[in-house]
Chain A
Amino acid sequence: MNALISTALSGVVLMFVGLFVSNRQRIKYFAIALVLVAFVANLLELSTLQGGSQTLFGMLEISKFGLLFNAVMLGATLLYFLLCGSEFEKVGEHVADYFALIFFILSGIMLASGFSSLLMLFLAIEIISIPQYILAGADKKNLKSNEASLKYFLMGSFSTGILLMGIALIYGASGTFNINELALGTGELHPLTIGGIMLLIFALAFKVSAVPFHFWTPDVYDGSPTVFTAFMATVVKAGGFIAFLRLFHVSFTGGAISQHWLLVLAIIAAATLVMGNLTAVFQQSVKRMLAYSSIAQAGFMLLAVIALNETATQGIILYAAAYSVATIGMFGVLMKVKDYTFEGFNGLARKQPLLALAATIFLFSLAGIPLTAGFFAKYFVLSAVVQQGNLLWLVILAVICAAISVYYYFRVIMAMYFKAGEPEVAPFTPAFKTVLIIAIIIVIVLGVYPGILLQWA
């Protein structure tokens, strides 16, 4: 709750700050301070929260799990601001507004992690989406940015329609929007419920860019200003997943009901894994490769949604953290390199050893190499599915896809270390260096001792 309020307010505040403060650096620092505040507030709540959870008018539930997730998201955002904050001004002049929008998105995510009514889910998703439409198009003169924005907007609102239809049908069957009551109500399986769940799955699958609803992802991520892509691909995506997981974890678990959507979701997950990894292999631009890799990673996170057990929930948190940190870091490096193609990275290790090392660690984490956070993230979701039983084929597939993923992640490493070249690298401050090193440390620490994060859940 603290976090929600503080983020929302921060957004408002920043809007006005934009009017009075012209110095962009200062705005940035201010934003960082605000997110830090939100982070601390959230941690306080997390540490002081006694009992399992408390709800607000049956609309919001404040639970340890949700708060932990918020903490991860806020932490990721903090890192994001620190690494990429100075890139904002390169996009356009409304720096303050961009920050404001990002804060609004954050508040949306706080909702997504705690909603207990379908209405709130709807609002959360809209609050997350609408600012993204704008951020995607923030680079107004750039046609690619425009295109990304329009594409995202059209398809996004289309999926909203489907989401609403799903909600409507479910309401028709059960007569309530409260997800906890839904869970009780779904004893007997009403045709409307099934249809509704299906439509919900499709809509949410769109938000987390799962095949075959993923088509917007590469174009949008590619077209939007890189700095915002970094945010969309990480924090926002994780937010989508928490919504997905929460809805199904609370409402639609249980053998009778889950068997109706399990297979569909499994198929979606499988398709996502295959398509995402396969398509990523042949990309020419690292940015676009990362877009596809985000699809592939979504496939893995979907495994958690499928499994829906203790391990899965732990896994999603770990995954969100690992994936966000690594990807944000990777984008941070990417933005320092002028040329986004793989050739652009040739010989980076010689020129900028630190950047190269950081990129390597982050890519390891994404590929799920042990001793990086990514390994345990993957480990948890995989074991969650194995635990769930009778979906071993999916696990094997996932594992094979993980092997494929090495193929494109390591292309970057090869370019950096084993190919000769003269990459042009934008200058960066010692502060940036320190942040990068911190990010590396986070990745390693989570990889060596994930308990540090899990002990909270």
Chain B
Amino acid sequence: MPVQYYIFLSIALFCIGIMGVLMRRNAIIIFMCIELMLNAVNLLLVAFSKMWADAGRIDAAAAQIFVFFIMVVAAAEVAVGLAIIVMVYRNTHSVDINILNRLKN
């Protein structure tokens, strides 16, 4: 089975994520879309690791380690990100990014 399938799949997921970021105003949803993008990347990496493993490279596990780290980072980001969102919500009682335009020009 050609790896292109996975490439296209994950690119598709990635772009869907981007679309989401572009289309939504709810900070949380946007954040979720970003997570989606990360997962697309993960998927791709895993696919590649398989590919290189089959191609007989011994260090192919590296990609999976990388995915592992991405998850780690993602988790950390979520912690911080949600904290920020909550903080903003506390002050503005909204998570709508469009009302955040005190800073401009």
Contact = CB atoms under 8 A, between A and B. Distances in A.
Q: Do A and B share a direct contact in the complex (Cβ within 8 angstroms)?
A: yes
Interface of A: 119, 122-123, 126, 130, 133-134, 137, 140-141, 143-144, 146-151, 153-154, 157-158, 160-162, 164-165, 167-169, 171-172, 175-177, 218-219, 222-223, 288
B103 A218 contact: yes
Contact of B40 (A130, A147, A165, A172): A165
A147 B103 contact: yes
A82 B97 CA distance: 37
Contact of B14 (A143, A161, A167, A176): A161
B57 A157 contact: no
Contacts of B76: 126, 130
9 closest Cβ contacts across the A-B interface?
Answer: A161-B37, A219-B103, A164-B41, A147-B100, A172-B48, A175-B52, A168-B44, A146-B88, A157-B34
A353 B2 CA distance: 71
Nearest to A117: B62
Contacts of B84: 133-134, 137, 146, 149-150, 153
B60 A175 contact: yes
B48 A171 contact: yes
B104 A154 contact: no
Nearest to B6: A172
* Dominant SS among interface residues on chain A: helix
A154 B21 CA distance: 9
Contact of A177 (B10, B21, B62, B104): B62
B27 A154 contact: yes
Contacts of A143: 91-92, 102
Interface residues of B, number: 47
A259 B71 CA distance: 35
A146 B90 CA distance: 10
Contacts of B73: 122-123, 126, 160
Contact of B51 (A126, A146, A172): A172
B85 A150 contact: yes
Contacts of A133: 80-81, 84
Nearest to A173: B48
A144 B70 CA distance: 30
Given A122-B69, A130-B77, A133-B84, A148 B103 contact: yes
A254 B34 CA distance: 34
B44 A222 contact: no
A261 B76 CA distance: 32
Interface string B29-63: 01100100110110011001001100101011011
A149 B69 contact: no
Nearest to A221: B103
A137 B89 CA distance: 13
Contacts of A122: 66, 69-70, 73
B19 interface: no
B87 interface: yes
Nearest to B62: A177
A299 to B, nearest CB: 20
B100 to A, nearest CB: 4
B54 to A, nearest CB: 11
B7 interface: yes
Contacts of B88: 146-147, 149-150
Given A122-B73, A150-B88, 20 more contacts: A123-B69, A126-B76, A126-B77, A133-B81, A134-B84, A146-B87, A147-B101, A149-B84, A150-B27, A150-B85, A154-B30, A160-B34, A161-B41, A164-B38, A167-B41, A167-B66, A172-B7, A175-B55, A175-B60, A223-B103
Contact of A165 (B3, B14, B65, B103): B14
Nearest to B45: A168
B27 A172 contact: no
